[in-house]
Amino acid sequence: MAASTLTEVARLAGVSPATASRVLNGSARTPGPDIADRVRKAAESLGYIPNAQAQGLAKSSSGLIGLIVHDIADPYFSAIARGVQAAARDQHKMVLLATTAGTPDDERAAVAAFAARRADSIVIAGSRSIRQQDREGNAVLAAELDRYCRNGGRVGVVGHPVVGASAPEGYHVVAVPNEDLAAELARELAAFHNGDFVVIGGPQGLLTSDDRVRGFQRGLESAGLPPAEVLRSGFDRSGGYEAGLALAKRIKVGQSAASGASRLCIFAVNDVMAIGAAAALRSEGLRIPRDAAIAGFDDIETLRDFRPALSTVRLPLEEIGRLAVPVTATGGQAPDGGTVVPVTGQVTLRRSTEAVAEAAA
């Protein structure tokens, strides 16, 4: 059976299609209560479904927020998405989701799709990249965002500004002090760990990873320690697992040499990489924290079930998502455009970095 049309609703209610549209699509120019009630009853009896795009035109608001993440299966992004959803609910809006695997080309396509659907605002979560292979993608993404903002859209970005974006209005960044927090983590670990440090970082040029690597090295330096070796891998669990296998071989060689080799302390620049590295060590018969200490960053919800409990830097991920949703003409309590919104985190030490004697006990 074909869907009912606005013309059929108007005919049954005895009004013009324009009048029926003003009632059903939320125009500020509404007819009298009797006519409006007649139109609504006609629509209900025919099972008419209003056109969301027509409603957006009538209200100058689509009621939609676009959310762009790298991987919704990653607990980091799902926690941010919950915050975005909470803010959207407060604004009486719905969230459209796009996952992009982290490429600026895919992010540009998502921005264009949301703009075509007249999304009131767009939130982008995920590390920015200054790698050579992303230069062209960054340029087209920045141009797409600038065009969207010039046409009245509002954008919120988590972490760093989009590379090359220049829209002065309708654009704000939720800034996370990754470097300072990583430095604080290094100083606290250095206070009781007397062995070598190794950092598992993402590909060079991913700004979030680079900030955390740089901060950790700065923290070691301030504690009077030499810089840690940095292993580069994928910015995900698989990358952490691959790096963990390489470190497991090194740990076993040190143990078999019986030369009093010190215990490694491993810092993975996000929790999913730390989980992957820990799984690799376990697969090689090594135990944490007896054979190696390990720490991550983010404090994702998955860590509640991870054993031994993982030391990390706790970020208010849901709050970050909420703050990333921009103010729109229809209200809300998020930041206005053209601003930087700071958040902070907290170093949280758990059993995965305990000293050897404490771990044995």
For residue 17, what are the domain limits?
6-58
Among 57-61, 78-82, 218-222, the minimum mean pLDDT is found in 57-61
Query: Mean pLDDT in the chain?
Result: 86
**Residue of 13 and 250 predicted with greater confidence:** 250
H or E stretch at 251: helix 237-257
**Residue of 91 and 275 predicted with greater confidence:** 275
CA distance linking residue 231 with residue 352, whole number of Å: 20
Give the per-residue pLDDT at 167. Answer: 67
Give the per-residue pLDDT at 58. Answer: 45
Total structural domains within the chain: 3
Do the domain assignments include residue 338?
no
Q: Which of 59-73, 198-212, 248-262 has the highest mean pLDDT?
A: 198-212
Give the per-residue pLDDT at 289. Answer: 93
Do the domain assignments include residue 336?
no
What residue has token string 């455009």?
Answer: 337
Give the per-residue pLDDT at 260. Answer: 53
Same domain membership, residue 216 and residue 101: no
Same domain membership, residue 356 and residue 300: yes
Closest CA to 186 of 235, 236, 227, 245: 227
Angle between helices 178-190 and 207-222 (to 10 degrees): 40
Task: Report CA-CA distances (Å) from 275 to 76, 235, 295.
Answer: 13, 12, 9
Same domain membership, residue 351 and residue 238: yes
DSSP-derived secondary structure for 63-106:
-EEEEEES-TTSHHHHHHHHHHHHHHHHTT-EEEEEE-TT-HHH
Do the domain assignments include residue 339?
no
**Helix, strand, or coil (residue 183):** helix
Give the per-residue pLDDT at 11. Answer: 83
Same domain membership, residue 186 and residue 45: no
Do the domain assignments include residue 31?
yes
Same domain membership, residue 204 and residue 76: no
Same domain membership, residue 270 and residue 228: yes
Do the domain assignments include residue 340?
no
Structure tokens, 272: 């999913």
Do the domain assignments include residue 131?
yes
CA distance linking residue 16 with residue 42, whole number of Å: 13
Do the domain assignments include residue 10?
yes
pLDDT tops 60 at residue 59:
no
Same domain membership, residue 139 and residue 40: no
Structure tokens, 293: 């200490």
Report the CATH number at residue 12: 1.10.260.40
Give the per-residue pLDDT at 258. Answer: 56
pLDDT tops 70 at residue 248:
yes
Give the per-residue pLDDT at 60. Answer: 53
Torsion-angle region of residue 64: left (phi > 0), alpha (psi -120 to 50) or beta? beta
What residue has token string 């009630």?
Answer: 37
**Helix, strand, or coil (residue 341):** strand
Mean pLDDT of 118-145: 93
Beta bridge partners of 155: 122, 171
Structure tokens, 306: 């991870």
pLDDT tens readout for residues 299-330: 999 998 899 999 999 999 999 999 999 875 44
Among 29-33, 40-44, 190-194, 218-222, the minimum mean pLDDT is found in 29-33
Same domain membership, residue 154 and residue 190: no
Do the domain assignments include residue 337?
no
User: pLDDT tier at 32 (50, 70, 90 boundaries)?
Assistant: confident
pLDDT tens readout for residues 211-244: 999 999 999 999 999 999 999 999 999 999 999 9
**Residue of 328 and 11 predicted with greater confidence:** 11
Mean pLDDT of 17-24: 76
pLDDT tops 70 at residue 55:
no
Among 11-25, 102-116, 123-137, 297-311, the minimum mean pLDDT is found in 11-25
pLDDT tops 90 at residue 47:
no
Give the per-residue pLDDT at 57. Answer: 46
Same domain membership, residue 302 and residue 183: yes
Same domain membership, residue 324 and residue 309: no
Give the per-residue pLDDT at 7. Answer: 80
Same domain membership, residue 78 and residue 131: yes
Beta bridge partners of 339: 172
**Helix, strand, or coil (residue 356):** helix
Same domain membership, residue 352 and residue 228: yes
pLDDT tops 70 at residue 28:
no
Give me Rg for the CA atoms of the chain.
26
Report the CATH number at residue 211: 3.40.50.2300
pLDDT tops 80 at residue 49:
no
